[in-house]
Structure 1
Amino acid sequence: MLATRNPFYLMAGLYLLVDALAVAAMALVTADILPSIAGLSWLRVHLLTIGVVTQVILGMLPGIAAAKLGAKAPDPRLTQITWLLVNTSFVLLLVSMPAGMTKLAAVGATGILVATALMLGAVIQSRTRPATERRASLRLYIAGPIFFLVGIMMALSMLLGWSSPGGYFGVIEAHVHANVWGFLGLVVAGFLFDRIPARTGQPLRYSRLVPVTSWLLIIGAAGLVAGPWLAINPMLLVGIVLYMTGTGMLIVNLAATMRAGKRWTPNLAHVLLAYIWMVVPAIIAPAYLLMTGKLPTNEIETSAIAGLVAGWILQIVISALPSRIGEEQDGAGRRDGWWFSVAMLNLGPLALWAAAFVGEATAGSLTVLGYVLILAGWLPPLLLVLKRLFTDPGSPTDQGQHITDPGPSPTRVRQPVLGR
Structure 2
Amino acid sequence: MPAPSPDQPSPRASWHRRAGRPVRWWLAAVIASAFVHPFLDEGRWLMVHLFTLGAVTNSILIWGRHFTERLLHLEVPPEDRRRQLLRLRLLNAGILVLIVGRVAGIWPVTVTGAAAVGGVVAWHAAGIARDLRGRRGGRHAVVVDHYLASALLLPVGAVFGALLGSPADELGPGGHDGLVLAHEAVNLLGFLGLAAAGTLTTMFPALWRTRMSPRGRPRVALATMLAGIAVTAVAAVAAVPAAASAGLALVAAGWIIAAVPWADNVLAVARDPRDRLGHPALSTAAAVAWLVGSLIAASAMAARPGFTITALTLPLVIGFAAQLLIGVMGWLLPSTIGGGGRALAAGMRELDRAGAFRWGLVNIGLVLWLLPLPSWTKVAVSGIVGLALAAFLPLLGRSARAQLAVLRRPRDGADGAPVELTGAARDRAGLPERTGARRLGVQLTAATATLALVVGVGVALSGGGAGGSAGAAEAAGVAPTGRTVEATVTARDMRYEPDVLRAEPGDRLVITMVNADDQVHDLRLATGEDTGRVAPGESATVEIPVLPGEVEGWCTIAGHRQMGMTLRVDAGGAGAAVLAGPGAGGEGGGTAHPTPAAGPPAADSPTVDPRLPAAPAGRVHRVTLHAREFTGYGAPGVEQEHWTFGDDPLGPTLRGRVGDEFIVTLVNDGTMSHSVDFHAGMVSPDRPMRDIAPGESLEYRFRAEHAGIWLYHCGTAPMSQHIAAGMHGAVVIDPPDLAPVDHEVLLVQSEAYWGEGGPDAAKVLADAPDAYRFNGYPDQYLAHPIRIRAGETVRFWVLAAGPNRGTSFHVVGTQFHRMYKEGALLLDDGVGGAQALDLAAAQGGYAEARFPEPGTYTFVDHQMTHAELGARGRVIVE
What range is the shorter-chain TM-score in? 0.7 to 0.9
Does 2:239 correspond to 1:231? yes
CA distance in 2, matches of 1:129, 1:164: 44
**1:321 Cα deviation after fit:** 1.5
**1:19 Cα deviation after fit:** 0.8
> Which residue of structure 2 lines up, in the alignment, with residue 376 of structure 1?
387
> Which residue of structure 2 lines up, in the alignment, with residue 52 of structure 1?
55
Which stretch of structure 1 is more off in the superposition, 100-109 or 64-73? Answer: 64-73
Within the candidate set 172, 189, 209, 2:217 is matched to: 209
Asked whether the 8 Å contact 2:72–2:138 carries over to 1, the reply is: no
CA distance in 1, matches of 2:291, 2:430: 31
Quick one: which amino acid aligns to residue 66 of structure 2? G
> Which residue of structure 2 lines up, in the alignment, with residue 269 of structure 1?
282
Within the candidate set 245, 252, 266, 1:258 is matched to: 266
> Which residue of structure 2 lines up, in the alignment, with residue 411 of structure 1?
none
Cα separation, partners in 2 of 1:201 and 1:239, compared to 1, 3 Å: same
Within the candidate set 88, 94, 100, 1:95 is matched to: 100
Please list, as runs of the form range in 1=range in 2, the aligned pairs for 1:163-242 lying within 5 A after superposition: 167-242=175-250
Within the candidate set 152, 155, 171, 1:149 is matched to: 155
Within the candidate set 108, 125, 131, 1:126 is matched to: 131
Does 2:334 correspond to 1:334? no
When normalised by structure 1's length, the TM-score is 0.81
CA distance in 1, matches of 2:407, 2:157: 42
> Which residue of structure 2 lines up, in the alignment, with residue 109 of structure 1?
114
Please give the per-residue CA displacement for 1:76-115, whole angstroms capped at 9, x wherever unaligned: 2321221121111112123221221111111111111111
**1:208 Cα deviation after fit:** 4.5
Quick one: which amino acid aligns to residue 13 of structure 1? R
Asked whether the 8 Å contact 1:344–1:374 carries over to 2, the reply is: yes
Quick one: which amino acid aligns to residue 196 of structure 2? V
Which stretch of structure 1 is more off in the superposition, 246-255 or 332-341? Answer: 332-341
Asked whether the 8 Å contact 2:282–2:359 carries over to 1, the reply is: yes
Which stretch of structure 1 is more off in the superposition, 212-221 or 329-338? Answer: 329-338
Quick one: which amino acid aligns to residue 151 of structure 1? G
**1:238 Cα deviation after fit:** 2.8
CA distance in 1, matches of 2:151, 2:306: 31
CA distance in 2, matches of 1:289, 1:178: 16
CA distance in 1, matches of 2:407, 2:156: 44
Please give the per-residue CA displacement for 1:164-187, whole angstroms capped at 9, x wherever unaligned: 798332222100111111111111
SS of the counterpart of 1:395? helix
Quick one: which amino acid aligns to residue 342 of structure 1? W
Quick one: which amino acid aligns to residue 126 of structure 1? D
Greater radius of gyration (CA): 2
CA distance in 2, matches of 1:289, 1:233: 6
CA distance in 1, matches of 2:30, 2:330: 16
CA distance in 2, matches of 1:162, 1:153: 13
Does 2:41 correspond to 1:38? yes
SS of the counterpart of 1:334? helix
Cα separation, partners in 2 of 1:327 and 1:95, compared to 1, 3 Å: same
Does 2:356 correspond to 1:343? no
Within the candidate set 8, 31, 42, 1:20 is matched to: 31
Does 2:292 correspond to 1:279? yes
**1:285 Cα deviation after fit:** 5.0
Quick one: which amino acid aligns to residue 115 of structure 1? V
Please list, as runs of the form range in 1=range in 2, the aligned pairs for 1:314-325 lying within 5 A after superposition: 314-325=322-333
**1:323 Cα deviation after fit:** 2.4
Does 2:315 correspond to 1:310? no
Q: Which has the higher helix share?
A: 1
CA distance in 1, matches of 2:100, 2:294: 31
Cα separation, partners in 2 of 1:295 and 1:85, compared to 1, 3 Å: same
Asked whether the 8 Å contact 2:185–2:232 carries over to 1, the reply is: yes
CA distance in 2, matches of 1:153, 1:182: 14
Does 2:405 correspond to 1:395? yes
> Which residue of structure 2 lines up, in the alignment, with residue 71 of structure 1?
74
Cα separation, partners in 2 of 1:25 and 1:388, compared to 1, 3 Å: farther
CA distance in 1, matches of 2:430, 2:261: 30
Which stretch of structure 1 is more off in the superposition, 77-86 or 185-194? Answer: 77-86
**1:392 Cα deviation after fit:** 7.6
Quick one: which amino acid aligns to residue 34 of structure 2? V
Within the candidate set 352, 363, 371, 2:369 is matched to: 352
Quick one: which amino acid aligns to residue 202 of structure 1? T
**1:231 Cα deviation after fit:** 2.7
CA distance in 2, matches of 1:289, 1:198: 36
Q: Which has the higher strand share?
A: 2
Quick one: which amino acid aligns to residue 59 of structure 2? V
In the alignment of these two chains, the number of paired residues is: 383
Asked whether the 8 Å contact 2:245–2:301 carries over to 1, the reply is: no
Please give the per-residue CA displacement for 1:325-354, whole angstroms capped at 9, x wherever unaligned: 222222646246311221111133223322
Asked whether the 8 Å contact 1:8–1:58 carries over to 2, the reply is: no
Cα separation, partners in 2 of 1:141 and 1:287, compared to 1, 3 Å: closer
> Which residue of structure 2 lines up, in the alignment, with residue 409 of structure 1?
none
Cα separation, partners in 2 of 1:211 and 1:294, compared to 1, 3 Å: closer
Percent of counterpart pairs with the same letter?
Answer: 21
CA distance in 1, matches of 2:362, 2:19: 25
> Which residue of structure 1 lines up, in the alignment, with residue 656 of structure 2?
none
Cα RMSD of the aligned pairs, angstroms, is 3.0
Please give the per-residue CA displacement for 1:35-87, whole angstroms capped at 9, x wherever unaligned: x2221111110111111111111112123112211223271232122112111
Asked whether the 8 Å contact 1:65–1:123 carries over to 2, the reply is: yes
Please give the per-residue CA displacement for 1:270-294, whole angstroms capped at 9, x wherever unaligned: 112222322334444566689xx76
Asked whether the 8 Å contact 1:92–1:105 carries over to 2, the reply is: yes
Q: Which runs of 5+ in 2 are unaligned?
A: 1-8, 409-428, 435-878
Asked whether the 8 Å contact 1:137–1:190 carries over to 2, the reply is: yes
CA distance in 2, matches of 1:87, 1:318: 20
Which stretch of structure 1 is more off in the superposition, 118-127 or 264-273? Answer: 264-273
Asked whether the 8 Å contact 2:251–2:295 carries over to 1, the reply is: no
> Which residue of structure 2 lines up, in the alignment, with residue 408 of structure 1?
none
Quick one: which amino acid aligns to residue 323 of structure 1? W
Quick one: which amino acid aligns to residue 82 of structure 1? R
Please give the per-residue CA displacement for 1:203-249, whole angstroms capped at 9, x wherever unaligned: 32244423222221222222222221233334323322221112122
Cα separation, partners in 2 of 1:18 and 1:83, compared to 1, 3 Å: same
CA distance in 2, matches of 1:295, 1:169: 9
> Which residue of structure 2 lines up, in the alignment, with residue 8 of structure 1?
19
Asked whether the 8 Å contact 1:137–1:191 carries over to 2, the reply is: yes
Q: Bigger relative contact order, structure 1 or 2, given CA contacts below 8 A and separation 6+?
A: 1
Cα separation, partners in 2 of 1:151 and 1:287, compared to 1, 3 Å: closer
Asked whether the 8 Å contact 1:271–1:315 carries over to 2, the reply is: yes
**1:387 Cα deviation after fit:** 3.9
When normalised by structure 2's length, the TM-score is 0.41
Which stretch of structure 1 is more off in the superposition, 279-288 or 263-272? Answer: 279-288
